[in-house]
A and B are shown apart, each in its own frame.
Chain A
Amino acid sequence: MNDLLTDKAAPGRGVMKLYLISGLVVVGLLLLAGLAMRASQAGWLPLPADGFYSLLTLHGAGMIVAMMVCAMGAIWFLTRQQVKMSAKLAVAAWALIMVGVVGVLVATLVGRYGSLYTFLYPLPFRGTWPNWSTGVFLIGLVFVNAGWMIWCCQMLAGVLRAHGGYRGALGWDYVWHSKSFAASERHPPPPESFPAFMVGLDGLIAGMAATLLGVALVVRWIDPQVQIDPLWAKNLTYFWAHTVANLIIYMLAGVIYVALPFATRREYHVSKVFVVAWWTSMTLTLTNYFHHLYMDFAQPEILQYVGQLSSYLSALPVTVVTVFGALMLVWRSGMRWTLGALFFYLGMLGWVVGGIGAEIDASVPFNVHLHNTLWVPAHFHTYLLGGCLLFVLGWVFLLLESRAASTTRKSMSWLISILMFGGMLVFLLSFYVSGAYGVPRRYSIEPAPGPVLSQVAAIGAAVMIVGMLLAGIEAWRLWRSRADLQEGAKEVIHG
């Protein structure tokens, strides 16, 4: 696997590039939307309420979809190394998702649709925005979901074909019948195929829930007589949103399994513990979402206990297996700290720290004081921005670095790191502090101490974005210096 990154002819590179580049372009634009919101809350660039909330809708829905697309591209590429999958189908799924993204853009920027990406029923039909924008937004999400489900089917089918059905892909015999498994000289699937399997299966289940809800809401949009149970709708919303957001991280965990062995020149071993850990994640990810409904006292009470226990236990596979295993790879490996390696490493830190914030919030007694405060964006920005986005950037950099004829200058690495991580720290900290003091989330105008902390956050975010811009310039430079391009240039000159 170690030459995968340098292998220009590796199948599926084109599909991956399409997903990664389109995803990152959207992420880049929406970072600016995030900055605009923070500056608005700071009182520096006050947006009118409808402008703020349509931007928040766009930022939330767009970021989730864009990060999802990046992660899909990377894990698809890794799976493609094990089994043939149709590139055409993957491009078709991508195109459906992009149609949906355009719908979301039109609904929010033109239609000022502002019911947020959670579209809690019946708010989408009771707002100040035009009715058409609700329809365009919902139908846009239906398109995204359709592309997602096609892609999940393709993934699941690919993994099952590659590793001998459910039994093989799950590593069932490897765990339960290890002696005969070893005797028959079979091998468990490679580590990255477990997240690929999980996203295929759990992604389809989440997609089905989203389809159900999407159809209900679109029917309600067409015929306002139709009534929906709001608690049912909220359960489905969060089942879908929580699962998809989590799958983004788990897909990228699959990328860690390939990237870190490459960076450390070591091997990632699949063990029984590893396999069982993935079974645990596959299951718990589907039951965690109950923690989004802790403050719905009308929800059947038993589900609240299930939610907390399951949220707690999902920390185990991550910290005991994936992150711990990654630290073991790095330990005394002599790894070179290129930007790619650094992004992966700090991304794991962000994942765990965001997880700590999440576990605190997933404790019902704390949730009473933190639910829907800025603590919530605090923890998920820590693992989406300070985790997932860093994994994606890390992957892009490793790919570029592995083929570049030159390396990043030390001073440049330091400058990028200080701006990016310094800014990120300030930005995230002010979310946490605001949350602890009870400042509500999703307030275009915040009560004290919100505005002051928003000012601090806006400065941090701006600094971070400057760092990211520099990283972008450096990525461009590495790409221009890639070895084959230089050879090509020489050939042109000498040929």
Chain B
Amino acid sequence: MDAAEKLLIAFFVLSAFIALVFFIVARSTRLPVQPQAEASRFGYAIRGRWFIFLLLGLLGTFLASLPFFPYMRTASALQPALRVPVEAWQFLFIMPDHFPVNQRIIFEVKTPDVTHGFGIYAPDGQLLAQTQAMPDYVNYLDVTFHTSGRYFVRCLEFCGMGHPIMQKEITVGEAATASGRSSLAALDSNGVVTHE
């Protein structure tokens, strides 16, 4: 099962649970009418528990999610990584088009014109990672590609009429093409693009 399916199933299960509650309550209107005071007593008893359950659930999920935040810590920024500058322009990406597999890469995403998005799509079509490209700012995206193959970079922030065609194919790993290899070679050890 891929990540998209898991996500959809989680969403459907939660929604179905809510829909079931709504259905049961709706059906109850066929039962003999209950005085409001009685219905409320019953309801308040459930409500207290529902509150505690939901509060703990939300706080627990919040804590559990913290290790998966994508923001780079200073300490981890200092660890060795291939630094790759990316420039997003209306409507293209200026960046190398071939990358090594299992190598930590820090994309330094910039733009000279308007706000863009920088989204990397894996060979199976899943959206792997993204950040924004905003004028006057640099967004650092920390990515390690674990599988080789053809990836796509797509713009994920509306940037004008060419927004939907703003994409670039990149390759990771052995599948390197001749042009791909040369563009990787063009990156010196500091990640600065040296134009030959």
Q: Which residues of A contact B (CB under 8 A)?
A: 49-50, 53, 114-116, 118, 120, 122-123, 126-128, 229-231, 234, 266-267, 269, 295-298, 301, 304-305, 308-309, 312-313, 315-316, 319-320, 324, 327-335, 337, 345, 348-349, 352-353, 356-357, 360, 363-366, 368-373, 432-433, 436-438, 440, 442-448
Whole-angstrom distance between the Cβ of A284 and the nearest chain B Cβ: 12
Contact indicator A356/B11 (Cβ below 8 Å): yes
Contact A116:B158 (CB < 8 A) given known A333-B39, A360-B7, A368-B70? yes
Other-chain residue from A296, A297, A324, A446 in contact with B72 (beta carbon distance below 8 A): A297
Could you list 17 A-B pairs, sorted by A, with CB under 8 Å?
Answer: A114-B160, A118-B158, A122-B114, A123-B160, A126-B114, A296-B132, A296-B134, A297-B140, A312-B62, A316-B54, A319-B54, A328-B40, A331-B34, A334-B29, A369-B127, A432-B8, A443-B164
Closest to B156 in A: A372
Contacts of A352 in B (CB 8 A): 18
Stretch at the interface among B96-104, B117-125, B172-180: B117-125
Complexed CA–CA distance, A366 and B4 (Å): 11
Near A by CB (< 8 A), chain B positions 86-134 give 90, 113-115, 117, 119, 121, 125-132, 134
Closest to A378 in B: B11
Other-chain residue from A297, A308, A335 in contact with B29 (beta carbon distance below 8 A): A335
Contact A356:B15 (CB < 8 A) given known A128-B160, A308-B62? yes
Complexed CA–CA distance, A370 and B4 (Å): 10
Interface size on B, residues (CB 8 A): 78
Q: Which of A328, A360, A438 has the most CB of B within 10 A?
A: A438
Other-chain residue from A118, A328, A368, A443 in contact with B163 (beta carbon distance below 8 A): A443
Contact indicator A442/B158 (Cβ below 8 Å): yes
Contact indicator A327/B4 (Cβ below 8 Å): no
Contact indicator B58/A316 (Cβ below 8 Å): yes
Complexed CA–CA distance, A305 and B59 (Å): 12
Chain B 158-170 per-residue mask, 1 if CB under 8 angstroms from chain A, else 0: 1111111100000
Contact A312:B161 (CB < 8 A) given known A126-B113, A297-B140, A331-B28? no
Other-chain residue from B140, B157, B161, B162 in contact with A372 (beta carbon distance below 8 A): B157
Contact indicator A369/B115 (Cβ below 8 Å): no
Contact of B83 with A by CB under 8 A: no
**CB contacts between A and B, total, < 8 Å:** 216
Whole-angstrom distance between the Cβ of B52 and the nearest chain A Cβ: 10
Contact A436:B115 (CB < 8 A) given known A122-B135, A297-B139, A353-B18? no
Complexed CA–CA distance, A284 and B45 (Å): 26
Contacts of B65 in A (CB 8 A): 308, 363-365
Chain B 37-57 per-residue mask, 1 if CB under 8 angstroms from chain A, else 0: 001101100010011001100
Chain B 59-95 per-residue mask, 1 if CB under 8 angstroms from chain A, else 0: 1011001101111100000000000000000100000
Complexed CA–CA distance, A305 and B66 (Å): 9
Complexed CA–CA distance, A120 and B160 (Å): 11
Closest to A261 in B: B36
Contact indicator A345/B22 (Cβ below 8 Å): yes
Contact indicator A126/B127 (Cβ below 8 Å): no
Complexed CA–CA distance, A485 and B69 (Å): 62
Complexed CA–CA distance, A320 and B196 (Å): 64
Contact indicator B135/A366 (Cβ below 8 Å): no
Closest to B115 in A: A120
Other-chain residue from B10, B51, B115, B159 in contact with A316 (beta carbon distance below 8 A): B51
Other-chain residue from A123, A319, A356 in contact with B159 (beta carbon distance below 8 A): A123
Complexed CA–CA distance, A191 and B15 (Å): 28
Contact indicator A369/B135 (Cβ below 8 Å): no
